[in-house]
């Protein structure tokens, strides 16, 4: 994990600088206050452990290369940085997962163990919670149905974050927001943009209650670009869409947390 490498680097720095520390006549160390040249950021590249959990966006549905959607693009982009030796991803994405299903899967020993060793956890969730409202109310959809369901979603999302932190209170958590592919399938519901914005606001509100969590918005990436960024099902991103999501996550990884000093 990253913190192990920081300890090793600090030890090397102390050894390197310690060799040139002068002594007084009494044999006491005299601190040389002249500025020492610090080793470059890539002096000892780190290995980054990332756990990706959630729905089909984590599984990579729509990626015609079958490399895991945004994950392959994000891994390549991170490993281009000379301060990063390797990025190890553990992908636990399952198509169709809602927040209640993800909560159940978080109890699995394999996922729990991976989170315990994770420097970063990236979550994609929420789109299928919105879809559930559609499926349960096809004969009479209206905005209030989504707003009512939003409260339960926020409560489950809070429980998801609390569970992850209970496994590893030092990991950085990034929640990727939802976007709006629904307009093509439910064109008669003109308020879909309003609904998506409201659910993203609810997600952001939950995330803002924690110090080590970050909300990553992606809805703007897809606005008015559905024809070029969505897969043939007009629901999941295509490869270009996933690459843009990876770029957005990369930007937010560099804003705070463990990779801040490396990516800033």
Where is average pLDDT lowest: 18-22, 94-98, 135-139? Answer: 18-22
Homologous superfamily (CATH) of 46-263 is: SGNH hydrolase (3.40.50.1110)
Mean pLDDT value across residues 171-196: 81
Mean pLDDT value across residues 26-54: 67
Confidence check: pLDDT of 14 > 50:
no
3-state secondary structure of 170: coil
Looking at the DSSP assignment, which residues form a beta bridge with residue 88?
A: 49
Q: What pLDDT is recorded for position 24?
A: 45
Q: Which residues make Cβ contacts (< 8 Å) with residue 204, sequence separation at least 6?
A: 177, 215, 217
Q: Please indicate whether residue 6 or residue 225 has the higher confidence score (pLDDT).
A: 225
Confidence check: pLDDT of 37 > 60:
no
Q: What pLDDT is recorded for position 62?
A: 95
Q: What pLDDT is recorded for position 60?
A: 96
The H or E element spanning position 154 is: helix 143-167
Confidence check: pLDDT of 10 > 50:
no
Measure the CA–CA gap between 140 and 173, rounded to whole angstroms.
Answer: 37
Confidence check: pLDDT of 140 > 50:
yes
Closest CA to 167 of 122, 207, 109, 101: 109
Strand 120-124 vs strand 84-93: parallel, antiparallel, or unpaired? unpaired
Q: Please indicate whether residue 73 or residue 34 has the higher confidence score (pLDDT).
A: 73
Question: What proportion of the chain, given as a percentage, has pLDDT over 90?
Answer: 62
Q: What pLDDT is recorded for position 243?
A: 97
Domain ranges of the chain: 1-44, 46-263
Mean pLDDT value across residues 42-57: 90
Closest CA to 48 of 92, 19, 9, 85: 85
CA 152, 158, 159, 164 torsion: positive or negative? positive
Q: What pLDDT is recorded for position 17?
A: 44
- How many CA atoms lie less than 13 Å away from 91 in the CB half-sphere? 20
pTM of the full predicted structure?
0.83
Q: What pLDDT is recorded for position 139?
A: 60
Q: What pLDDT is recorded for position 147?
A: 80
For 201, the token pair is 């606001």
Confidence check: pLDDT of 213 > 50:
yes
Q: What pLDDT is recorded for position 195?
A: 85
Provide the pLDDT confidence category of residue 192 given band limits of 50, 70 and 90: confident
Task: Name the DSSP class of 32.
Answer: -
Strands of the sheet with 46-54, listed across from one edge: 84-93, 46-54, 120-124, 172-176, 213-216
Confidence check: pLDDT of 22 > 50:
no
């Amino acid at each position: 994990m990253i913190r192990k490498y920081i300890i090793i680097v600090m030890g090397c720095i102390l050894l390197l600088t310690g060799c040139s520390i002068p002594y007084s006549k009494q044999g006491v160390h005299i601190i040389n206050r002249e500025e020492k040249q610090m080793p470059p950021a890539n002096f000892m590249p780190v290995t980054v452990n990332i756990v990706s959990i959630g729905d089909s966006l984590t599984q990579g549905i729509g990626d015609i290369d079958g490399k895991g959607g945004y994950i392959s693009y994000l891994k390549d982009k991170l490993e281009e940085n000379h301060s990063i030796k390797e990025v190890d991803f553990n992908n636990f994405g399952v198509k169709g997962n809602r927040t209640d299903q993800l909560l159940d899967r978080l109890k699995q020993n394999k996922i729990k163990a991976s989170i315990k060793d994770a420097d970063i956890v990236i979550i994609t969730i929420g789109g299928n919670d919105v879809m559930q409202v559609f499926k349960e109310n096809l004969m009479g959809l209206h905005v209030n149905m989504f707003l009512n369901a939003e409260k339960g979603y926020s409560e489950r999302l809070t429980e998801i974050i609390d569970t992850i932190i209970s496994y590893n209170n030092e990991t950085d958590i990034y929640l990727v927001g939802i976007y709006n592919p629904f307009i093509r399938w439910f064109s008669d519901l003109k308020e879909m943009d309003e609904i998506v914005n409201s659910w993203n606001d609810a997600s952001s509100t939950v995330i803002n209650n924690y110090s080590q969590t970050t909300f990553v918005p992606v809805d703007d990436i897809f606005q008015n670009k559905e024809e070029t960024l969505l897969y043939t099902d007009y629901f999941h991103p295509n490869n270009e869409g996933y690459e843009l999501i990876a770029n957005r996550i990369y930007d937010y990884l560099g804003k705070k947390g463990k990779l801040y000093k490396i990516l800033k």
